[in-house]
Amino acid sequence: MNRYVVILGAAAIFVMSLFGFYELASDVNTSVAVARFDESMTRRVQSWRRPALDALMKVITWSAGIFGMTVLGFGLFFYLRHMGRSPEATATAVLVLGGVALSDVLKRILQRVRPEEALALIKTPVSSSFPSGHSMTSFCWSVAAIQAILLAPFAPPVAKALVAVLCVLYALAVGVSRVYLGVHYPSDVVAAWLLGIAWMSVVTGVYYWQRTSNAAR
C-alpha cells in the first residue's frame, strides 16, 4: 500500500477523533445532552452490580492502574526488545507513556469533578475526572499489543485475530469498569478513547513512515 495513503488516512483519523474530543471537552460541564447520556449510561451499567461482578471489575480496573499498567507496559516493551523488534518497543513506550502524560495534563486543565464519592465501590482518586486516565492508558497499551501481534512474523492468523479481539475487549472492559465502580462518568471514558485514537494515529503514522522509509533504502 502506498505509504502516502496510509499517512493521509492516519491524519484523517487524527483530525476526526481530536475534533470529537474537543467537542466533548467543550460541552462536558454545560451540555444537557452529555449530562443525560452520563446519567442514563451510569444507571444502566451500575444496575449490573453483583458481588462477583464487583470483584471482577475491581481486578480489571486495578490492571490498568499504575502498578498493573507498569507490569503490562514493561512486559510488552521487553518482549519486543528480546525478539529484536526495537523500533516497535520504542513505539510502544511512546504510545503508552504519551497516553499517560496526555491524560494527566488534560485532567489538570479541564478539572471536572468526579461522580459522588458515596456511590463509588472503590476509593475515589483525588485527580479530576476528565478524561479517564485508566481508559486512555489501557487503550494505548491494547493498540501497542495489537500492533505487536499483527506484525509478528511467525504468528498464525488465528492467533493474531484472537489476541486482537482480546485486546479490544480488555480496553472496553477497563472503560466500563470505571463507570461501574462509580469513579468516572461515561463521557470521561468516551473522551479517553477519542483522545487515544488521536494519539494512536500520530504514533502509528510516524512509526509506519519511518519503517517504510528504512525499507526503501
Active site residues: 134, 184
Length of the chain: 217
Report which of 178, 176, 180 is spatially closest to residue 49, judged by C-alpha positions. 180
Contact 136, 196 (CB under 8 A): yes
3-state secondary structure 23-42: HHHHHCCCCHHHHHHHHHHH
CA 136, CA 78: separation in Å to the nearest integer? Answer: 21
User: Cell 485508566 belongs to which residue?
Assistant: 134
Residue in the block written with cell 511467525: 154
Q: Taking each helix axis from N to C terminus, what angle separates 186-216 and 86-110, rounded to the nearest 10 degrees?
A: 150
